[in-house]
């Protein structure tokens, strides 16, 4: 199953991030164990300090008892000091109990000693002295035990720390190296696959540019963006083939019309001119004069009609004087009959000097002819204006009237707008132009606009 393109792109960094996450989890677990041991060391330190304070309080209480034993009268300051020392001893034993490092029997012994040495229950020097003789060695013994544990734990902690640093450093280097290797391998694998597919599309586009309209193979199913691009290029190639075929067909048709017009001019009109000269000689003979004159008139009309057909096939003005002059000549001929609308033609100086390819020039002329014929046949207009200007590297041709107009929705020209409007759109598409219909700037009527982008030479 092929992965989507976006998934292929993020696969390498996602794999590296997963490995880094696993590494962080390992380091967190390792240092969590170390933090437990550090807490144990902290509890040992707290217990050791508490026992040391308890031992100090017991020693000072023993000294106070010796002082009171030798004194001849009770000393209030000594009694007060005895009470304070007992308070310190009780506090130290309570702190020791919070650490939970000593077993219950040891704690009960220490707590019982605190109770027995409470001066508020009565100061019996001999009993206090005997209790201290039991409590002091026991506190010292427990203090020595905790001290040994601290030393052992300190040594073990240093050894564990060294081992931990070495282990984590090794694992980190291995995981980082493996992550980099996996990231590089995944990147190269997917990049090679993506670049190979892009190269196929690029080669196909290069062939199309060179004129070889061989579309890239279209995938059976669109799975990612490159498949979509391949399908788009395939469809674009098919449309380009149709456009080029249409352009070649139009070019061939225009060339054939031009050849027929030249044949009529060079052969048929020449032969008819010779016949007319013969008729002119016959007019000089009296018996055939009237008949020859009638035949000459018919012949002249036939020659005029042939010239109209020639101009429709391929206007000579277009080749000799250019597009603006050909359009102006067309307007003069089309609007000379009675009832035709008053026309106005405006062409900029830059449009007169415009050099267009022959097929493009003829196609624009045919489109303008069709637009003018639509106005003359269907618009019932009294005014007709045609403009030709160059703006923003494009040729703008506008045909505008004040006739009755029509419902020029975007779908109309291609569906129910008639063959003429369909021909306009097809011809415009063949040369890469755009056409549109909208309301005229007059109170009524239609504005037809053709926009032909010009290539920079």
The three-state DSSP-derived secondary structure of 348-413 is CHHHHCCCCCHHHHHHHHHHHHHHHHHHHHHHCCCEEEEEEEECCCEEEEEEEECCCCCCCCCCHH
pLDDT one-digit tens code per residue, 398-439: 999 998 887 754 444 444 445 778 888 888 888 889 999 988
pLDDT one-digit tens code per residue, 21-32: 888 887 777 777
List, in sequence order, every residue forming a beta bridge with 384; answer none if it has no partner: 343, 401
pLDDT one-digit tens code per residue, 29-77: 777 767 777 777 788 888 888 888 888 888 888 888 888 787 766 677 8
| pLDDT at site 37 | 73
Q: Domains in the chain, start-ordered, CATH in brackets?
A: 5-189 (1.20.1330), 318-453 (3.30.565.10)
pLDDT one-digit tens code per residue, 192-249: 877 787 777 777 777 777 777 676 677 777 777 777 777 777 777 777 666 666 666 6
Q: How far apart are CA 141 and CA 106, in angstroms?
A: 11
pLDDT one-digit tens code per residue, 74-109: 677 877 888 888 888 888 888 888 887 788 888 888
Q: For all residues of the chain together, what is the average pLDDT?
A: 78
Q: Which residues of 197-230 are buried (b: 16+ CB within 10 A; e: fewer)?
A: beeeeeebeeebeeeeeebbeebeeeebebbebb
List, in sequence order, every residue forming a beta bridge with 399; answer none if it has no partner: 386, 448
Q: Output the pTM of the full model.
A: 0.45
């Amino acid at each position: 199953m092929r992965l989507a393109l976006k998934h292929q792109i993020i696969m390498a960094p996602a794999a590296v991030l997963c490995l880094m996450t696993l590494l962080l989890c390992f380091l967190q677990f390792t240092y969590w164990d170390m933090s437990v041991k550090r807490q144990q060391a902290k509890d040992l330190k707290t217990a050791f300090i508490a026992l040391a304070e308890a031992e100090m309080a017991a020693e000072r209480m023993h000294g106070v008892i010796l002082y009171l034993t030798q004194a001849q009268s009770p000393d209030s300051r000594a009694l007060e000091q005895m009470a304070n020392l007992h308070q310190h001893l009780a506090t130290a034993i309570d702190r020791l109990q919070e650490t939970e490092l000593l077993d219950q029997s040891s704690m009960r012994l220490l707590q019982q000693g605190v109770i027995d040495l409470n001066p508020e229950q009565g100061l019996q020097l001999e009993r206090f002295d005997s209790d201290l003789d039991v409590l002091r060695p026991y506190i010292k013994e427990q203090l020595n035990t905790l001290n040994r544990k601290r030393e052992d734990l300190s040594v073990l902690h240093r050894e564990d720390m060294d081992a931990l640093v070495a282990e984590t450093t090794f694992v980190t280097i291995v995981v980082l190296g493996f992550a980099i290797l996996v990231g590089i391998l995944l990147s190269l694998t997917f990049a090679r696959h993506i670049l190979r597919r892009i190269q196929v599309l690029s080669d196909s586009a290069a062939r199309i540019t060179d004129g070889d309209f061989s579309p890239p193979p279209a995938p059976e199913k669109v799975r990612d963006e490159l498949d979509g691009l391949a399908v788009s290029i395939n469809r674009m190639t098919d449309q380009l083939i149709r456009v080029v075929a249409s352009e070649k067909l139009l070019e061939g048709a225009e060339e054939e019309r031009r050849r027929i017009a030249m044949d009529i001019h060079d052969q048929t009109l020449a032969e008819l001119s010779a016949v007319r000269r013969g008729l002119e000689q016959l007019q000089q003979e009296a018996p055939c004069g009237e008949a020859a004159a009638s035949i000459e008139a018919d012949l002249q009309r036939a020659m005029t009609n042939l010239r109209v057909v020639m101009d429709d096939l391929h206007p000579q003005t277009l080749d000799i004087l250019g597009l603006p002059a050909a359009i102006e000549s067309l307007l003069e001929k089309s609007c000379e009959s009675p009832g035709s609308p008053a026309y106005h033609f405006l062409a900029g100086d830059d449009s007169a000097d415009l050099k267009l390819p022959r097929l493009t020039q003829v196609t624009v002329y045919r489109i303008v002819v069709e637009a003018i014929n639509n106005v003359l046949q269907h618009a019932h207009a009294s005014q007709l204006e045609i403009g030709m200007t160059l703006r923003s590297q494009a040729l703008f041709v506008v045909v505008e009237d004040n006739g009755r107009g029509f419902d020029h929705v975007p779908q109309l020209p291609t569906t129910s707008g008639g063959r003429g409007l369909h021909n306009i759109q097809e011809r415009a598409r063949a040369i890469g132009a755009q056409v549109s219909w909208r309301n005229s700037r007059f109170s009524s009527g239609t504005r037809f606009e053709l926009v032909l982008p010009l290539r920079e030479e």
